[in-house]
Every structure is written in structure tokens, then in C-alpha cells.
Amino acid sequence: MSNKNIESVLQEGRLFPPADSFKAAAGLDAAKLAALHAAAEHDPTGFWGDQAREALTWHTPFTDVLDESEAPNYRWFGDGKLNVSVNCLDVHLAERGDNTALVFESEPGAVRRLTYRELHAEVCRFANGLRALGVEQGDRVVIYMPLMPEAIIAMQACARIGAIHSVVFGGFSALSLRDRIEDAGARVLITADGGMRGGNVIELKTAADKALSEGCASIESLIVLRHTGHDVPMVAGRDVWWQDLVHDKPATCEPAWVDAEHPLFLLYTSGSTGKPKGIQHSSAGYLLGAKLSTQWVFDLQPDDVFWCTADVGWITGHSYVAYGPLANGATVVLYEGGPTWPDAGRFWRIIEDHKVSIFYTAPTALRALMKLGDDIPNSYDLSSLRLLGSVGEPINPEAWMWYRTVIGKDRCPIVDTWWQTETGAILISPVPGATATKPGSCTQPLPGIDAAIVDDEGNAVTKPDAGGYLVVRRPWPSMLRTIWNDNDRYIDTYWHRFQNRYYVAGDSAHRDADGYFWIMGRIDDVLNVSGHRLGTMEVESALVAHHRVAEAAVVGKPHPVKGEAVFAYVVCRGERPMGDTRAFVEELRQWVGEQIGAIAKPDEIRFADNLPKTRSGKIMRRLLRAIARDEEITQDISTLENPQIVDQLRGK
Ligand code: PRX
């Protein structure tokens, strides 16, 4: 969001306190929230210990809450043992076994429901299937599936036997899948014949075959869910149908009691190098964060129907589809397909049909739906909604207000939740029964989270509206533990900047006079495209892997729907492409799609004879950003080795 937007909201002073009716019924009112904050302030470690004893079911209770001896490799609840799937499923069987756990709607519109008892049985069958294939505690299992119950079943089954899952978003290409499998050294890959999106079949099995044919020596088995039903070849000795694997397996499965710190999953995310990093999360601390934040931020009540639209390929789909709501015994809606398929009312129809009460989505989706006009949502019954959430990128006040008035009919609080793959759970967010909200601000840190804004020296910025680094000054249970296979990078990326004292989020932010946080965006070379993180270096590496490309530089450009668009400058080997370059541009876009995935395809590509560099050879990214945005160039270009290039880069 631009400064201008923030200023206009601040000047208007729009402040939305929770409605009295919401406040009265909320699980956490202002007094209870204040008590949690006070307890956490007074004794942070004791606070988390109490929360972990109360919220989680332990096989072996812990005695040690936080081990800081190897900071910043913190260990939480170190000597305790538990099982995450037991905490999400078994704990509900006695009292809520017949409640609906998952409501799944496929893109063509078929609806399937699973109770907690049924989900538990399916998870156990599949967990037994994994064990039958030789999967053991600590083995890595990669999941490359559509957003459907079996993706959740696969994740929970891994948790049940202590295997470490790594979900790869189905929109990533075969090559991205291969890289992630290889980095994790996975033994088993789970996929489907295909997925459905916008009326098209996504060829997941074909991509999986391609990934495995180009490496991935560690993979022993490929499990394939029959979903779309179209023909896919199976490789004898390696491939097995999911349905065949589970049909004779018992519906109970002895859980593996793992250490609190046992890795629950890896999730790859983009950073400022060309290589995505495998963020490693723990079992107990992660689950605690997912479970508590779901209670606090979404005010889950027993009859709520919770719909988070994120795919399980992202952290939001882990914490607020697969783990947090299930740990709380909620009813979770899953929808496989596109938001405007077969028409622009699909999301609103799902809310009406399944009586969704809590809806959690990304600003990019809201902006896309907002553009289509109010008549569409107005023609559906959205009266079941009582709370709305936003995640993944700054929400511009205009979209916030539309969400509030047109979707929430001025009744539903909006929770703008700030967090990251690394944080595991929401860290800064309104608590809907307690916090007065401001459009565009994620408001205040949750209890136990010591978020702050600091300057270059690491000193807290106290002046209202002055920007700085967003940091967290104390460890919290759901924080990442390390980067898989690369602890040096973990320390370097998140801790080194302030001598290992603070976790550095990589965002810049400021606080207003009320102490509310306003997130300004990334300070590293990471873009946020449609709420998804994308490293500029990843796209650059993909481009230069094309035989005609000599050099590439990628920057972000503000985009009205996606938040940021990918803008690439390309220097070709030999002559600069001239005249009608559309076919070549399309070839390069396809190429990037094959290397990374469709989300990384550049929106614009501009060709040049060379890139603007300083005399020491550094690409002047700030200049490239200004040019992409058609802004006036304010920086000094006299240090440019080749100042005449500027006109060419401008497309003149
Ligand atoms: O820049 C912030 C932005 O998304 C980044 C984290 O991306 P990722 O790990 O993919 O996780 C996305 C879902 C949690 C952050 O560094 N971001 C996330 N939520 C918000 C946000 N920016 C502003 N406001 C938010 N509510």
C-alpha cells in the first residue's frame, strides 16, 4: 500500500470498534485479551508453558519450556512428546466424532463431507499404507496434490507416523517439484492423476513423472490418487494407486509419539537468492501457534463453518486449513477450483450453500472480485458470515472497505492478519471481540509476541509513523527452527542483521500514534505477487537458463489486482529483438512457467542491449524499478557505466 493511502485513512480517522453483539459473544473480549497480554509480559516463558499444557494433549509432559542454549536455534517444550494428528483428530472422537470436519466442493460442484470419525479412519488407513511402503519416522514425503480432502489426509497421515511432509503447490512446475524433492531427499511422492482449475485439468501426474525422470533418486514410491479419472500411465514397481494402497488397511493406526521438536513439515519459500529455502517447522510449538491463533483471531465457536481459501501448498493452507481449525474441532470448507468458475459468483455461492460463518482470503482475490461489481455478491445470501479475514499482502483501504460493506454488510469485523511462512502462525492481528480496526492496518501483536520496529542500529523506533525493520524480539513457539540442510542461511537471513538478538521478518513497517502496525512491504528482493512470495533472483535464473538470454533483471511493479506484477528486463545473446517481439515474449513467459510455475511468468518483458550498471558492475535495481513504474528518475545516474541505456530501457 502506498503512503498516500495510509495517510488518507489516518486523516479520516476511520476506526471500527467491534459491535456490542459481537463483543458480548466473543471468546476473547478486551478484558481477557488484556489478561493474556499481561501474563505474557510478566513471564513470557511461563505464559507459553501454561498455554502448551492447556491447549495440547501430551503423551509425555514437558518439563523444560524453552531452551535458549543454542540460540537462535531455539527449542520449545524439548523433553515433551506428543502426536500432532492425535491432537487434531483423536481428541475430538469422543465428544465430536460425528461432527463434520471437512466439507469439500470440487470444481464441477460435487460435495463430499467427512466427519471427524471418518477423517480419522481415512488418515489411519493412509498412514498404514505409508508404513506398508516402508515410510519411517523422520522420512520426508512430498505432497503434490489438488486442494482436496486427500491432501489433508496425506499431511495428517505423515504427522501420525512422524514422517516429515513437504507440500509443493500444484501450480509449481515439474522442475520446481524436482528441486524440492531433491533438497528434502524425499522417499515418497504423493500426487493425483490431475486437478481441476478453471475448467481445465492440471496434469499433476505428468509433471510428477517429468520431475522423477530428471533426478529425484531418493524417491522409491509414487502414490497416485485417482481424482479426475483421465488416463495416466503408471510405472510398474514405482507407482501405486492411492485407492489400492488403502483399501485393505485398518482404520486405526498407532501414532508415533514424537519429540516436541520433531520436524512436522518443510515448506519451501522464496528468498533473495535463486534457490527456495526449506522452512522447517516443529511439531508442538507449531501446533500450539496454529491452534491458539485460530481461537484468538477467528473466535472459533462450536457451530462455526470456517473457510480459508488458501491452497495447502502455502503456509496459510497448513496453519488455517490443515492444522489450526482441525485442532479446534471446527468444520472446514475446502474448494478445489477457481474463484470465478463457472461464473464470478462461485465464492459467494459457496458461502451461501455451506453457510460459511468465517471467511479468510487474500486481498488479491478481493480486488479481483470487487472489480466485477457489487451486484454479484449482492445476489447471494451472505447472512451466515460473522467474521472476515485477510492475509498475504497489505490490503488497500478501498478493498478493506468493500469487504466490510459489501461482503460483511457492516456487521462483520475484519481481521487483517500479518504473518509469514517462517512465523508458522499469525503474529500481528486484531482480536475481533476486542480490537478496534483501521482499514489497512494489521493493528497489534497477539499475546506473547514481542513485535517491534527498529532502526538500522536495532533501536526501537518510537516516533509515530516513522518506518523501520519489522522484528520480533523474543522467540515464540511456532517460529521456524531452521532452513533444511542450511542452518547458516537460517542465521544469516533472519538473525545476523541484529547480532542474533532479533528475528528479522524482511518487511518494513511503521506504527501510528496508537501503536498500530502498518506493513509497508518487503525490504529484500522478494516480490509479493497475488499474495505469493516470489524471489526476483529465481525468475532471473529461470530467464538466463533460456539459450537466447544473456542477462536478466527482474523488479516488481504495482498492479491493481495482483498487488505486484513481475517486470523483466532481458538482454539477449546477439542482436536485441526488434519489431514485433510478441512471439518471443510469449516463448520466454512459457519458459519461466516451465522452470518455476505459472505464477512466476513475467507480466512484462523489455529488451535492452545491456543493463544499467554502476562502474563496479552492480545492477541499479532502484533505477529499473523507477523505469518499470514510469516514475521520474531521481537517482544520480552519473555513476552509470552506460547512461545512454536509460532511454532504451524506457522503451523509447
Ligand atoms: O510481506 C509480508 C506479506 O507476506 C509475506 C509473507 O509471505 P508468505 O511467507 O508467503 O506468507 C503469506 C501468508 C502468511 C510477509 O513478509 N504479508 C503477509 N500478510 C500480510 C502481509 N503484508 C501485509 N499485511 C498482511 N496482513
For residue 340, the tally of other CB atoms under 10 A from its CB is 16
Q: Residue 1 has what pLDDT?
A: 38
CA dihedral 580, 567, 5, 416 (to 10 degrees): 130
**DSSP conformation class of 497:** G
Mutational test site, ligand 1, from 309, 415, 479, 519, max ligand atoms within 8 Å of CB: 519
Q: How far is the CA of 33 from the centre of ligand 1 (A)?
A: 24
HSE of 415, CA atoms in CB hemisphere, 13 A: 31
Nearest-atom index, ligand 1, CA of 442: 26
Residue 11 has pLDDT above 70, yes or no: no
Query: What mean pLDDT is predicted for residues 40-51?
Result: 98
Alpha helices in 299-362 (DSSP H): 315-317, 324-327, 346-354
Q: Whose CA is nearest to atom 18 of ligand 1?
A: 392
Partners of 76 in the beta sheet? 66
Q: What is the pLDDT of residue 484?
A: 98
Give the whole-angstrom CA distance, residue 563 versus residue 395. 9
* Rounded distance from Cα 568 to ligand 1 centre (Å): 23
| Residue of 419, 438, 441, 599 to mutate, ligand 1, most atoms within 8 A of C-beta | 419
- Closest ligand 1 atom number to CA of residue 417: 26
Q: How far apart are the CA of 531 and the centre of ligand 1, in A? A: 7
Q: Relative to the CA of 422, which ligand 1 atom is closest?
A: 9
Question: What pLDDT is attached to residue 616?
Answer: 84
Residue 244's contacts (CB-CB under 8 Å, 6 or more residues apart) are none
pLDDT on residue 413: 97
CA 635 – CA 260 distance, rounded (Å): 51
Region of 428 on the Ramachandran plot (φ > 0 left; ψ -120 to 50 alpha; else beta):
beta
CA 531, 532, 538, 539 torsion-angle sign: negative
CA of 148 to the centre of ligand 1 (A): 24
CA–CA gap between residue 412 and residue 644 (Å, rounded): 55
Apex CA 446: angle with CA 444 and CA 447, to 5°? 125
Closest ligand 1 atom to residue 533 Cα is: 10
Provide the percentage of residues in the chain whose pLDDT is more than 70.
Answer: 98
Residue nearest to atom 6 of ligand 1 (CA): 420
Percent of the chain surpassing pLDDT 90: 91
On the question of pLDDT at 467 being above 80, the answer is yes
Nearest CA to ligand 1 atom 3: 393
For residue 390, give the H/E element and its range.
strand 387-391
Pick the closest to residue 334 from 304, 315, 354, 348 (CA basis): 354
Q: Ligand 1 pocket: which of 508, 528, 529, 530 to mutate (most atoms <8 Å of CB)? A: 528
Rounded to an integer, the average pLDDT of 92-107 is 97
Ligand 1 pocket: which of 309, 420, 479, 480 to mutate (most atoms within 8 A of CB): 420
pLDDT tops 70 at residue 199? yes
| Residue bearing the bigger pLDDT, 302 or 319 | 319
9 band by pLDDT with thresholds 50, 70 and 90: low
pLDDT at res. 4: 47
The Cα–Cα gap between 133 and 131 comes to 5
Residue-wise pLDDT for 518-545, tens only, equals: 999 999 999 999 999 999 999 999 999 9
Ligand 1 pocket: which of 321, 388, 418, 508 to mutate (most atoms within 8 A of CB) = 418
- C-alpha 519 – ligand 1 centre gap (Å): 9
Ligand 1 atom having least distance to the Cα of 429: 26
> Which residue's alpha carbon is at the smallest distance from atom 13 of ligand 1?
392
What is the DSSP-derived secondary structure letter of residue 520? E
What pLDDT is stored for residue 595 in this prediction? 97
pLDDT in tens, 377-433: 999 999 999 999 999 999 999 999 999 999 999 999 999 999 999 999 999 999 999
pLDDT of residue 3: 46
Instruction: Calculate the average pLDDT of the chain.
Output: 95
423 or 14: which leads in pLDDT:
423
* pLDDT for residue 248 is more than 90: yes
Residue 419 CA to ligand 1 centre (angstroms): 5
pLDDT in tens, 133-177: 999 999 999 999 999 999 999 999 999 999 999 999 999 999 999
* Per-residue confidence (pLDDT) for residue 640, from 0 to 100: 82
| pLDDT exceeds 90 at position 618 | no
Is the model's pLDDT at 67 over the cut of 60?
Answer: yes
- Compute, in angstroms, the gap from residue 417 CA to the centroid of ligand 1: 8
Ligand 1 centre distance from Cα of residue 520 (Å): 11
Q: What is the pLDDT of residues 257-292, one digit of tens each?
A: 999 999 999 999 998 888 899 999 999 999 999 999
Output the CA 391–ligand 1 centroid distance in Å. Answer: 7
CA distance 80 to 551: 52
Pocket test for ligand 1, best of 286, 312, 511, 533 (most atoms within 8 A of CB): 533
The residue contributing the CA closest to ligand 1 atom 21 is 393
Whether the pTM exceeds 0.85: the reply is yes
More confident residue, 123 or 647: 123
**Exposure string over 276-292, b if 16+ CB within 10 A, otherwise e:** bbbbbbbbbbbbbbbbb
**pLDDT at position 12, please?**
54
Check pLDDT > 90 for residue 636: no
* Residues lining ligand 1, Cβ inside 6 A: 269, 315-316, 391-394, 416-421, 442, 505-507, 519, 522, 528, 533
At residue 488, does pLDDT exceed 70? yes
* Per-residue pLDDT at 6: 47
Q: How far is ligand 1, taken at its centre, from the CA of residue 238, in Å? A: 38
Residue nearest to atom 15 of ligand 1 (CA): 420
Nearest alpha carbon, ligand 1 atom 22 = 393
Average of per-residue pLDDT across 635-646: 82
Residue 573 CA, ligand 1 centroid: distance in Å: 37
- The pLDDT assigned to 274 comes to 86
- Out of 169, 277, 393, give the residue to mutate to test ligand 1, the one with the largest number of ligand atoms within 8 Å of its CB: 393
